[in-house]
Amino acid sequence: VWGFESRTRCKDNSYRWAQWLTLGRLTRSTTAPEDRIMFCIGRDITQQKEQEKARIKALEDNQIEIRSLNKTL
């Protein structure tokens, strides 16, 4: 089992994020490529990525504000 994230551009030039989980199986006890099956499950994580980006931006803004307050003290 392994997973990864991908970003895809849509027709309207916006981007969507997907999180993928994959599982490989052998249909027989050989290692031939034709005896392998891969199952993939994907889900849209665009909203989570946008929330994460907003949290990071808020933290950076807070750090800038704290630095400017420390300079005035």
DSSP state at residue 33: G
pTM of the model: 0.69
3-state secondary structure of 62: helix
Mean pLDDT on 32-39: 81
What's the pLDDT band for 21 if we cut at 50, 70, 90? very high
d(CA 73, CA 64): 15
Q: What is d(CA 6, CA 40) in angstroms, rounded to the nearest whole number?
A: 13
Mean pLDDT of 7-36: 87
Mean pLDDT of 22-45: 84
Residue 12 per-residue DSSP state: T
Tell which phi-psi region holds residue 71, choosing left (phi > 0), alpha (psi between -120 and 50) or beta: alpha
Give the chain's length.
73
For the chain, percent of residues with pLDDT exceeding 90? 63
